[in-house]
Amino acid sequence: MPDDDASGESREAFARDLRRACSESGFFYLKPPKSLFGEEENEAIFEAAKSFFALSMEEKMKMDYANSPQFRGYVSLGLENTRGKIDAREQVEFGVHSAPKRRKDMTHFYERLIGENQYPSNEFEETMEKFIDRMDAISRQLTRYLALSLELEETYFDYMFAEQPNMQMKICKYPIAIDGGESSFGVGPHTDTSFVSILLQDDVGGLQVEIEKDAWIDATPIEGYFVVNIGEMLQIMTGGYYKATPHRVLSPTSKSIDENKARLSIPYFWNPRLDFVAKVDGEITKKGFSTAIEERSETSNENRIINAYGENAFKSLARSHPKVFAKHHPDLLMRSDGTIEKKKS
């Protein structure tokens, strides 16, 4: 990704490359400018992740996400699911760190996602917040190039994020598959609710992308590069021209790596404001940038994509963490298609 002071020619070339990647596969590798993210930042975030997962279970459970109405904190192995199937990973969930709103002051149920993160130490918190700041800068710059890639003014998408983007991130550890099998899922097939998702991964590998129906390829780690994928919000806005592509993670096996090692990854989800509602954008489609989306039906019982971002985000977390949803939000009802509404009194 070019620096801010790059020539117009290099910026235009990068935007063209983005258009091709986003419209053809929905996935691409991204090398950010060193001014935004370099080797020092990479080492710091992975060292923090390793140090956390090396803690005793007793220490990690002091950050138990079951205590967070915002679904944040430590999630132990086997507690998260993707489309009803258990994920084989442990992780820590983070969001925008801010004071939660009182229920009586809320207009929409998705405002319950506003709240505080959990941290094991001040040092760990400082490392996470520095990483989040770096990723915010990368995401904002990438968003402007995405606008240019669609022949729009580079500030075109800025209003979606303003000063209150609802970013989410995780640090994840994928242990070796217990049975040593080749088909164990660290995370099952899914698409992301984000605008874009930006992944930092170690050298173990395991991420796969569905390029055609039931045809999966490896997103092999490349040192110094992020893996970026398009989320459902941008897919909706481009009328399907930019694709939110299904992806999954295969658990490492004793055949592929040292038995004492595990896969570490740090996904960062660049999301719009909670109150943002995505719809097909006429400024994009009138330029010819649109294509038919092979969408799940709006009445599908599988997993409805909701164009109201806050509702889509809450739905995704509630489905993945049903026990936390039931504990902290007993007044809400989740329907079979994932839509959420207040229970009738």
For the segment 60-113, what is each residue's pLDDT rounded down to a tens digit? 999 999 999 999 999 998 766 666 667 788 999 999 999 999 999 999 999 999
Domain that includes residue 315, residue range: 8-340
pLDDT at 17: 96
Residue 261 in any domain: the answer is: yes
Residue 128 in any domain: the answer is: yes
Residue 191 in any domain: the answer is: yes
Phi, psi of 296 (to 5 degrees): -70, 145
Phi, psi of 30 (to 5 degrees): -135, 125
Residue 89 in any domain: the answer is: yes
Residue 3 in any domain: the answer is: no
Rounded CA separation 110/113 (Å) = 6
Residues lower than pLDDT 50 in the chain: 180-183, 294-301
Structural contact between residues 21 and 238, judged by C-beta atoms closer than 8 angstroms: no
pLDDT at 257: 60
Rounded CA separation 270/136 (Å) = 8
Q: What is the CATH number of the domain that holds 136?
A: 2.60.120.330
Distances from the Cα of 203 to the Cα of 30, 220, 261, 329, angstroms: 16, 8, 11, 39
Residue 2 in any domain: the answer is: no
Core vs surface per residue 30-57: b (16+ CB within 10 A) or e: bebbeebbeeebbebbbebbeebbeeee
Structural contact between residues 186 and 267, judged by C-beta atoms closer than 8 angstroms: no
Structural contact between residues 284 and 290, judged by C-beta atoms closer than 8 angstroms: yes
Count other Cβ atoms within 10 Å, centred on residue 17: 13
pLDDT at 300: 40
Residue written as token pair 């896969």: 263
Provide the 3-class DSSP secondary structure of residue 121: coil
Residue 1 in any domain: the answer is: no
Structural contact between residues 161 and 272, judged by C-beta atoms closer than 8 angstroms: yes
Q: How many domains does the chain have?
A: 1
Residue 281 in any domain: the answer is: yes
pLDDT at 290: 74
